[in-house]
Chains A and B, each alone.
Chain A
Amino acid sequence: MSDHDPLRDLWAGQETGNFVMPLEDVRRKARGFQKTIRRRNMTEYAASALVIALFGWTAITVPEPIVRAGCFLIIFGALYICWKLYGLARSASGAEMDAAQNLMTFHRAELLRQRAALASVWRWYLLPFVPGMAVFLGGVSFAPDNPAPLAVKLVIFLFAAMLVAALFYGVWWLNQRAVKALDGEIAALEGAGEDQPVDS
């Protein structure tokens, strides 16, 4: 490896220009990155705020107690998700500060962190909405002032529940697909550090 390699001469001799970043620019950009992260987090919180506002308004305006109970449960679910998102965002910015770890450690930790968040999406992102949605749909479908026969009410409830279930399944499936892709990356990374020749 210590042999003279003309490629190294070619590489070292390339014209790189004169890139200089004054300290003030570095500090300004560093503040800019923090703002970008905050803005991204705010977008995620805004979606939860919208859900809370919508179901909060419904809870206030609809007199039916079961529907109102469903709305409050959905709001609690959205608040729980905000709390989990806050924890994930904190963990991500913590990972940024470990940037000087070696590549294997840094990327393995990053991939495992992403994998954990995606693999458990049903638990922290979907499940919190399930009790609220079930009670809300039940309250709407079986409302006492609805003159429809019980069988029709049941069909409406099941149809709505299936739509929500299909939506939840879609979210879960997309995340599981991402988990499989991450598993491949993690396996490749773990194999990469071994002494044996690795196929490319």
Chain B
Amino acid sequence: MKPVFDQDQRYLEAAEAHGGALQRLARAMEAHPERRRDLLQEMHVALWRSLAKFDGRCSLKTWVYRVAHNVASTHVGREVRRNRGLVGEDAIGPVVAADNPVTDYEREDALERLNAWIRALKPADRQVMTLYLEELDAPAIAEITGFTPGAVTTRISRLKARLAEDFRENADV
């Protein structure tokens, strides 16, 4: 039963190392708390199932992000078809300036708005942005998404500019 042991061990290792990233991804993708928990469970189950086929051709980290993002993307597509769980950009308020001292409440509020902004993005942008926020570099994001590193860099620059603009506009309202 060695394969099962390997699968379980790899899952425990992956969940320990990247569980936080999965939670942040689920929060960014799904606003509703119960559906967010369902999504998180779905990611963990898909990860465990997929690890039966883990062949080491990419790092465990890349593998985990690919599985999690594929599950999240399928979930979002399903929710869009059901016409729920979408947050428009009008839900975005001003994010507290990053160089200001912020209270926990303000920080939480800013995070909620950042997540709402991410949820309003197109699927590919949503994936690139969340991976960028997880401190992955362009080649790593390219390996996970299948985009070229150049496309990733361009996309991130554009997204950061749009983020700054959207938040500035909302702050002015």
Contact = CB atoms under 8 A, between A and B. Distances in A.
B92 interface: no
A197 B156 contact: no
Interface string B133-163: 1110110000111111011011110101011
Contacts of B23: 16-17, 19
A197 B158 contact: yes
A5 B137 CA distance: 13
Interface centre among A7, A99, A110, A200 (most CB of B within 10 A): A99
Contacts of B49: 30, 96-97, 99
B99 to A, nearest CB: 7
B107 to A, nearest CB: 7
A41 interface: no
Q: How large is the interface on A (under 10, 10 to 19, 20 to 34, 35 or more residues)?
A: 35 or more
Contact of B71 (A9, A99, A101): A99
Contacts of B133: 7-8, 11-12
B156 A1 contact: yes
Contact of A16 (B12, B27, B135): B27
Interface stretch (A46-54, A155-163, A188-196): A188-196
Nearest to A32: B45
A23 B151 contact: no
B15 interface: yes
Contacts of B71: 99
Contacts of A23: 8, 11-12, 48
A117 to B, nearest CB: 16
A76 B127 CA distance: 46
Interface of A: 1-2, 5-17, 19-21, 23, 26-27, 29-30, 33, 96-97, 99-107, 110, 188-189, 192-198, 200
25 contacts: A1-B153, A7-B114, A10-B98, A10-B107, A11-B133, A13-B107, A16-B20, A16-B23, A16-B27, A19-B40, A26-B48, A97-B50, A99-B71, A100-B53, A103-B69, A103-B73, A103-B144, A103-B146, A104-B146, A106-B66, A189-B124, A193-B151, A194-B148, A198-B158, A200-B125
Given A17-B23, A103-B127, 12 more contacts: A14-B111, A16-B27, A23-B11, A23-B48, A26-B44, A97-B53, A99-B49, A99-B70, A100-B66, A104-B147, A107-B70, A200-B125
Interface of B: 8, 11-12, 15, 19-20, 22-24, 27, 40-41, 44-46, 48-50, 53-54, 63, 66-67, 69-71, 73-74, 98-99, 107-108, 110-111, 114, 121-125, 127, 132-135, 137-138, 143-148, 150-151, 153-156, 158, 160, 162-163
